[in-house]
Amino acid sequence: MINTNWAFAQYENVRKRLPVSVARGACTRVPDLGALADEFDVFLFDAYGVLNVGNTPIAGAPERVAALQAMGKRTMVLTNGASYPASDRLPKYHEYGFNFTADDVISSRDALAAHLATLPDIRWAAMAPKGASFEGLGVVFDLLEDAPETYANAEGFLLLGSQIWNDARQAMLVETLRANPRPALVGNPDLVAPYEHGFTLQPGLYAHWLADRTGLEPLFFGKPFGGMFTEARRRFGAVPPERVLMIGDTLHTDILGGAAAGFKTLLVENHGMFKGADVAPYIEKSGIAPDYITPTI
């Protein structure tokens, strides 16, 4: 059963591949993000579980972001999504009621694209939904479906989106990489994502399972890894890290990643990873403690 306990256990199982834990935050409880508005100049938002759940905006979130923007605060979205460019997501945020610009949205795809630009031109195959975009990646790829020759002929693999992935395709990917190890780059390192109907499995989970079964270590791009935070710093400029707040619903991605980048962190309880759960035992077991905790932004 895919629930909070199961998802948390999966994250704990892969700690050896995540950034090293940092100093514990104080876990100060605040009623909402408004209580911290004067303490920070830059607010970095995770999307799923903080701004929206699936395709539904969280009540009050657009108004909260707008209030921060009216105060002159920099508000940005850091999202682990790789099937489509961040620019494709912007109209959806506008539909939800958020007034973000293209420069405000950073995706894990951006970090992946920057790395791909440093590599030689090879034949890629991708875990991705039908119609996934090549835009901005600088490469084209074959779609991994059910044809064994696609797996055999690829010189490298991109794990972008898991919407049409299944156990049979995972088994073919494991088999081909056991027989002939090749690079595997993970554009979305999330293990699960919250939707209206519950959690969905994400590319990061399949990548870790792949590593466990082949000995191959994939390269991950996105939270909690550093590339997205480096790009965020480049965009918001010379703001002291203690004046930057990373806001997320997941300890092992948003909170661990934000703290490792030197930022303060806020865990949102009510809409994502820990909806309906007491977060205290998870913080204690993982040792990943945010600076602040709030029910909703």
Q: Which residue has the tokens 């399972």?
A: 209
User: What pLDDT, in 10s, does the model give residues 87-133?
Assistant: 888 999 999 999 999 999 999 999 999 999 999 999 999 999 998 99
For residue 214, what pLDDT is reported? 97
54-58, 173-177, 291-295, range with the lowest pLDDT: 54-58
Inform me whether the pLDDT recorded for 193 exceeds 90: no
User: What's the rounded mean pLDDT across residues 10-28?
Assistant: 93
- The tokens for 79 are 């999202």
Average pLDDT, the chain: 95
Closest residue by Cα to residue 164 from 210, 191, 127: 127
Q: Is the dihedral of CA 31, 33, 293, 295 positive or negative?
A: positive
User: What's the rounded mean pLDDT across residues 23-38?
Assistant: 96
Inform me whether the pLDDT recorded for 198 exceeds 90: no
Identify the band that residue 294 occupies on the pLDDT scale cut at 50, 70 and 90. very high
Identify the band that residue 217 occupies on the pLDDT scale cut at 50, 70 and 90. very high
Domain ranges of the chain: 4-107+224-294, 111-220
In this prediction, what percent of the chain has a pLDDT beyond 70?
A: 100
Identify the band that residue 251 occupies on the pLDDT scale cut at 50, 70 and 90. very high
Q: Looking at domain 4-107+224-294, which CATH architecture does it have?
A: 3-Layer(aba) Sandwich (3.40)
**CB distance 187 to 159 below 8 Å:** yes
User: What's the rounded mean pLDDT across residues 250-267?
Assistant: 97
Inform me whether the pLDDT recorded for 190 exceeds 80: yes
- Strands, DSSP E only, in 102-243? 105-107, 124-127, 141-143, 156-159, 184-186, 192-195, 198-201, 219-220
For residue 87, what pLDDT is reported? 83
| Cα three-residue angle 249-209-81, rounded to 5 degrees | 40
For residue 195, what pLDDT is reported? 76
Asked whether the domain spanning 111-220 has the same topology as the one spanning 4-107+224-294, the reply is: yes
Identify the band that residue 247 occupies on the pLDDT scale cut at 50, 70 and 90. very high
For residue 227, what pLDDT is reported? 87
User: What's the rounded mean pLDDT across residues 242-269?
Assistant: 97
Inform me whether the pLDDT recorded for 197 exceeds 80: no
- The tokens for 183 are 């690079």
Fold held by 111-220 = Rossmann fold (3.40.50)
Q: Is 210 helix (H, G, I), strand (E, B) or coil?
A: helix
Inform me whether the pLDDT recorded for 152 exceeds 80: yes
